[in-house]
Amino acid sequence: MNTALRRVLGLCCLAAMLAVLAVVARMATVSAFNVHPDEKDHVSAGKYYMEYWDQPKVGDPRAEGAYSNYGISYLHQMDAVYFFAGKFARLILPLAGSDFMALRFFNVTLLGVLLLLFWRLPWEFRPAFLPLFISPQIWYIFSYFNGDALPLFCCFLVVYLLARMLDAGRDMSGTGGGSRRATLRFLGMGAALGVIAVSKQNYFIFLAFFAGFTALVAWFSRRGTLPWRQVFLVVGLMVLIFGARWGSSAWAERQQAPDAVSRMAEQVAAEDKKPSKIVAGQAYWGMRMREHGVTWQEMFTGEWKWHVFAQRTSFGLYEYSRIETLPLVYYRYMLYLTCALMVIILAPIALEGREGRAMAALWLGCALLTVFQSFWHSWTNDFQAQGRYFFPILGMTGCLLARFHRQVAAIRPALWTVVLVMWGMSLWSFIGTGLARIPR
């Protein structure tokens, strides 16, 4: 590619980045509080850590008001985003003006950093970040405070560090890994994976994928040997972060009764979500559907249509999933483009010998497992056909695009064209539907 064309495409990338950041910042600043999914509950958890450092026990008066209509609090889960976001929000509160706005800008800042990392990548590795531009729902989770933006950010931080290692002539086998810069990159990777380990549970599949990905790279690069020094560095930091978070949680739990969570839920949950009502089959219709006689086939038919809601919430459903992008044929076109994108990416990789086929199979297996995990949660626990549960697949795709950047180069025009169309449709949905109709 000649220099002039690359410069033009670079300016196009910059314009696309700035457009995404602008609409996300606009959504964050103009939308009313708690018009986004569960924002009140997320903000309540973040506000606690704006004031305190320790995890509260169940029923702690300092955390009063941090319980959802399910009678549970994010403060009693392993998710560490509320600690980091709370401390960030405390610092910028004088500028933000309100606690929920300060917490929102934690997620906006994460997106800004991701876009900066995308810009810093060498041209041949930039396709690894293109999955961030294919859906307005991805941008939407960065525009209000929630627990999904941080693990997605960490996934792409891993992708960025992987690309930088490959660009420096190294691979995950540790070749040339003795330099200080390489060590820092492995430390960064360990920290990012550690934060994922104490984030939303649906991202655990990304951790499993990355473990398999690393093992395959090592196998095909060094005939089955692993770079044990780097492995211990990454895994050790992951364990340290997970252990610190688990220890904090265990310390809080040892000060309370074993059934404290269920008793608290029975006291403060909405009437149709109390544990006693759920057990008796008298609760909200979406609770434990399998247990109450709904078959898995019925989840895809009649009034449930899990796959329809899951697909729409993947590509532009706003407020509490009440604002749809119209006309509804938009979702069908986005599905077609997603399928085309999968073929464009996986075909050249699968044709790249044994490693390519193994990597494509690993990606496909983990992607299907991610979808199944979301379905299983909706069927056995709570009907939440949420596209955000699929977002670990974006990070997996980024890893493949970084590892096989030379093979992807052959189909780069088709890849960029499809992503450009999806970016345009996403921008149209976000502005014309999301920003236009969101309550203010």
- Residue 318 sits at φ, ψ, to 5 deg, of -115, 175
The amino acid that residue 188 corresponds to is G
Residue type, 21: L
Write the CA distances from 260 to 59, 222, 263, integer angstroms.
8, 51, 5
pLDDT at 175: 47
Collapsing DSSP to helix, strand or coil, 259 comes out as: coil
CA atoms of 49 and 46, how far apart (whole Å): 5
From first to last of its 440 residues, what are the pLDDT tens digits of the chain?
A: 567 777 777 788 888 999 999 999 999 999 999 999 999 999 999 999 999 998 888 888 888 888 888 888 888 888 999 999 999 999 999 999 899 999 999 999 999 999 999 999 988 899 999 999 999 999 999 999 999 999 999 999 999 999 998 887 655 544 444 577 888 888 999 999 999 999 999 999 999 999 999 989 888 876 555 567 778 888 889 999 999 888 888 887 777 777 777 778 777 778 777 888 877 777 788 888 888 888 899 899 878 899 999 999 999 999 988 999 999 999 999 999 999 999 999 999 998 889 999 999 999 999 999 999 999 999 998 888 899 999 999 999 999 999 998 888 888 889 999 999 999 999 999 999 999 999 99
Three-state DSSP class for 34?
coil
Structure token pair of residue 100? 């929920």
Whether the upstream peptide bond of residue 258 has omega within 30° of 0, thus cis, is no
